[in-house]
Amino acid sequence: MKPTYDLKLVKELIRNGHYRITLRALSDAQSDFDFDAERILEEILGLKLQELDKTMPSEKMPDLWQDVYKKRVIVHARVQTAYIKLNIVRPSNKETAVVISFHKA
């Protein structure tokens, strides 16, 4: 399976500061894993294509696609699986990586 969005581009956008993390993703990552924004980005920068689970249309905007990854993360010396949903938007012709979801799978 191929992602809708090039994972290398997602990572490049994040490294260059062109990203946004939704409040829901931040809140869920904090409550599920005790992760802050920095740790969320660290985990995304470590994603591999093999961790892609699916690509799917947005429920609210069906013309906007989202890539879903499932990644094993270490939380307090235990392995858990994170469900990570990403996309790239282009507001004002400027590409931005968006972390839509980051929670327990």
Instruction: Give domain status of residue 53, yes or no.
Output: yes
Whether residue 92 is predicted with pLDDT greater than 80 in this model: the reply is no
Would you state the torsion angle of the CA atoms of residues 15, 16, 17, 21, taken in this order, to the nearest 10 degrees?
-50
Phi and psi, residue 7, nearest 5°: -60, -35
Contact 66, 102 (CB under 8 A): no
How far is Cα 87 from Cα 66, in angstroms, rounded to an integer?
A: 5
Residue 2 lies in a domain: no
pLDDT > 70 fraction of the chain, expressed in percent and rounded: 100
Averaged pLDDT, 61-79: 92
Residue span of the structural domain in which 24 resides: 7-84+92-104
Report pTM. 0.92
For 9-54, the pLDDT digits (tens) are 999 999 999 999 999 999 999 999 999 999 999 999 999 999 999 9
Confidence (pLDDT) at 37: 97
Give the total number of structural domains in the chain: 1
CA nearest to 71, candidates 62, 83, 59: 83
Give the C-alpha distances (Å, rounded to integers) separating 50 from 29, 53, 54: 22, 8, 11
57 domain-assigned: yes
CATH number of the domain residue 71 falls in: 3.30.2310.40
- Is 1 inside any structural domain? no
Residue 99 lies in a domain: yes
